[in-house]
Amino acid sequence: MVGPRRNWLNLWKQTIDALDPLLGRTRPDRAWHPRDGRITELGLHCTVDQYAGNKVAVGIYASAESASVTEDSLLDVPQSPVDEFIDVVPADALAGVDHHTRAHEFRDDDAGYLAWLAANPEGFVVNIARNYSVSTARVHHATCRTISGQNPHNGPWTGAYVKVCAIHSADAEEWAANTVRKPIPSCGTCRP
């Protein structure tokens, strides 16, 4: 997981170097020198988290069984991998980050949005057009009648507008600053 300003192409080598606790070192006297010749299959997936800044978090799934590439199939995935999950996260990557207070965007997900409202009645919701136009966007309390309860248009809640939900107003403001680069006005009905 990286922030939007990090370039994954500059990080893959460090990710493999971080495997030396799992693979062992080729040369014990040299840190960050894994026995990477033991890697028989490697897949990398990068997720961009807009709130990560310059931080990097790496999760590693390792299996003792090997996959094989054959002419008949591109990849035979092991059917029963060893139940081992190693989460390698640099200590400073998550320092000061409260994962429960980040903003979450609901797009074409009414069920998820309504469940979030029910679970977080003290929260805040940014109601913004799908194209992130700030002209009609507003910040609401989660209990505001204009963004919860009975939908006045009888359509989807997360259709023409997406809902960006946060437990704390500061997280909604941070989302706006990072995503649309403008403050979003408060709702005139609930006045958050």
Per-residue pLDDT tens for 131-187?
A: 899 999 999 999 999 998 777 677 888 888 899 999 999 989 888 888 888 899 999
Higher pLDDT, 24 or 99: 24
Confidence of residue 101 (pLDDT cuts 50, 70, 90): very low
Q: Alpha carbon of 143 to those of 123, 140, 184: distances in Å?
A: 8, 8, 18
Residue pLDDT, tens place only, 43-61 = 777 778 777 777 777 776 6
Note the helical H segments in the chain: 12-17, 20-23, 110-119, 169-179
Phi, psi of 172 (to 5 degrees): -65, -40
Kindly report which listed range (31-45, 61-75, 81-95, 137-151) carries the lowest average pLDDT score.
81-95
CA atoms within 13 A on the CB side of 173: 6
**What pLDDT score does 51 carry?**
72
